[in-house]
């Protein structure tokens, strides 16, 4: 399932103004079409268009044979094109390159009438809504048996008058949905609560170094009622919303609250300290794909995990890390120690946020594990909490062409209206 590649030559090519940066839905794409080959034609025309599509592929493995299923949705109307030139072209042999400037607007929303798929069962989104913003450029492939991509590209077509002949050039572009708001300040913490009990003689103050007898060790293993018991709740708070490239540190909070009624009387007002012995946080990415089927759509789900390696930083803390377990104790926020961010400011370089389009859905979750120790006894808690990864804020300083500028923009209702003007040669300095 190949993606559209660059196809530019001396016969016809496309160049973009400035660097080939990502475009946001609704942006104006400016550049020029060029040709160097010898040409003499009295009535040629040049059209520039922008296209977008979302494609999926699933290879079904069978005992006897394999079968390939595919899914496709067009995201941009075929009428999103602009005639940038019509008239005579004269390019002599060895002459300078001729160029034709263009400015075409990338639609902000998907055109539901251009999807070329009317089966709701093959889509994660309602098909007839007109408020679906164009999804970002995307690529995913796993072991060759599933593949998905979202692509956008420009096509320039030169037609020669009086001849049934044309030349095309294509140029892929990158589209990114980038919110205009500044980086989010609220991470929407999710609290996961777990209950724990520690049974140990050394919980009693002053007995931390006391050597236990054989019978005491046996009672402690059997957790008899005569052994002191500390009961508490561990609350782990992690973000539910993370914006990529946000320079702010991600909060990671641990709060231990003693359970007074379930704790032995001798320990109810005794402050304790829980040593953090290990912590792991992984980002789980889940990809869901839909492909066309005769009776029902075919789907596939894949998950991958990325360890954020938070222990690499915490293991360097001198004297260990302790979390108080006492009445009225406050949560411990490890954000300053972990120095955790996602994106270009962090240790792990994420570029693909959570999103859902017609046949592709990408979601994320945080898989965590906590191990603590108190009075020589260890306990563990683990869980998975959903998280939404947002696209980075749009920090581009320039590059947008507003609609009130005098550049000709694509108008689906007037796709055949020519922008008439002479070709422009570029002199070789």
3-state secondary structure of 294: coil
pLDDT of residue 1: 74
Verify that 104 and 58 share a domain, yes or no: yes
pTM score > 0.85 for this model? no
pLDDT of residue 346: 65
Per-residue model confidence as pLDDT tens digits over 114-144? 998 888 999 999 999 999 999 999 999 987 7
Per-residue model confidence as pLDDT tens digits over 250-301? 999 999 999 999 999 888 888 999 999 999 999 999 999 999 887 788 899 9
Verify that 29 and 106 share a domain, yes or no: yes
Say if residue 14's pLDDT is above 70. Answer: yes
197 found inside a domain: yes
Per-residue model confidence as pLDDT tens digits over 212-263? 776 677 776 667 777 889 999 999 999 999 999 888 999 999 999 999 999 9
235 found inside a domain: yes
Verify that 201 and 320 share a domain, yes or no: yes
HSE at residue 116, side-chain half, CA atoms within 13 A, is 12
Number of domains in the chain: 2
185 found inside a domain: no
Instruction: Give 81-144 as a DSSP string.
Output: EEEEEEEEEEE-TTPPEEEEEEEEEPPSB--GGG-S---GGG-SS-TT-S--BPPPPEEEEETT
pLDDT of residue 144: 75
52, 175 in Cβ contact below 8 A?
Answer: yes
Verify that 348 and 239 share a domain, yes or no: yes
298, 391 in Cβ contact below 8 A?
Answer: no
What span, in angstroms and rounded, lies between the C-alpha atoms of 376 and 211? 12
Domain of residue 353, residue span = 190-390
Which CATH number is 169's domain given? 2.60.40.640
Confidence band, pLDDT 50/70/90 cuts, at residue 314: confident
Say if residue 54's pLDDT is above 90. Answer: yes
Verify that 127 and 194 share a domain, yes or no: no
Verify that 77 and 165 share a domain, yes or no: yes
Identify the CA nearest to 114 among candidates 47, 50, 70.
50
Verify that 278 and 141 share a domain, yes or no: no
Instruction: Give 152-187 as a DSSP string.
Output: EEEEEEEE-TTSS-EEEEEEEE-B----SSPPPS--
Verify that 356 and 420 share a domain, yes or no: no
179, 393 in Cβ contact below 8 A?
Answer: yes
């Amino acid at each position: 399932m190949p993606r559209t590649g660059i196809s530019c030559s001396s016969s016809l090519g496309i160049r973009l103004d400035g660097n080939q940066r990502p475009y946001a839905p609704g942006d104006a794409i400016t550049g020029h079409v060029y040709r160097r080959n010898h040409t003499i034609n009295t009535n040629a025309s040049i059209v520039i268009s922008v296209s977008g599509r979302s494609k999926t592929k699933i290879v079904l493995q069978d005992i006897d044979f394999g079968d390939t299923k595919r899914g496709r949705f067009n995201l941009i109307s075929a009428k999103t094109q602009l005639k940038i030139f019509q008239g005579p072209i004269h390019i002599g042999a060895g002459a300078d390159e001729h160029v034709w400037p263009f400015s075409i607007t990338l639609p902000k929303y998907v055109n539901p009438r251009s999807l070329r798929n009317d089966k709701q069962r093959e889509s994660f989104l309602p098909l007839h809504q007109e408020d679906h913003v164009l999804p970002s450029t995307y690529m995913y492939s796993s072991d060759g048996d599933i593949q998905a991509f979202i692509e956008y590209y420009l096509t320039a077509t030169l037609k020669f008058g009086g001849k049934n002949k044309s030349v095309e050039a294509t140029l892929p572009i990158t589209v990114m949905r980038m919110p205009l708001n500044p980086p989010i300040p609220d991470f929407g913490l999710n609290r996961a609560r777990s209950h724990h009990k520690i049974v140990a003689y050394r919980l009693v103050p002053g007995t931390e170094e006391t050597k236990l007898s054989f019978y005491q060790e046996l009672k402690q293993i059997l957790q008899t009622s005569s052994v002191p018991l500390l009961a508490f709740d561990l609350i782990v708070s992690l973000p539910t919303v993370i914006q990529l490239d946000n320079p702010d540190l991600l909060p990671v909070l641990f709060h231990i609250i003693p359970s007074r009624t379930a704790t032995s009387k001798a320990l109810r007002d005794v402050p304790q300290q829980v040593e953090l012995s290990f912590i792991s946080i992984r980002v789980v990415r889940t990809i869901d794909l839909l492909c066309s089927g005769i009776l029902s759509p075919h789907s596939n789900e894949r998950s991958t995990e990325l360890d954020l390696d938070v222990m690499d930083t915490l293991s360097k803390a001198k004297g260990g890390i302790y979390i108080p377990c006492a009445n009225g104790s406050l949560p411990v926020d490890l954000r300053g120690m972990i120095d955790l961010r996602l994106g270009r400011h962090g240790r792990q370089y994420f570029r693909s946020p959570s999103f859902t389009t017609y046949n592709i859905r990408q979601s994320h979750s945080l898989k965590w594990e906590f191990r603590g120790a108190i009075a020589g006894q260890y306990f563990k808690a683990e869980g998975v909490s959903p998280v939404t990864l947002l696209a980075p804020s749009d920090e581009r300083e320039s590059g947008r062409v507003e609609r009130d500028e005098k550049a000709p923009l694509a108008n689906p209702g007037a796709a055949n209206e020519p922008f008439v003007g002479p070709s422009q040669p570029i002199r070789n300095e």
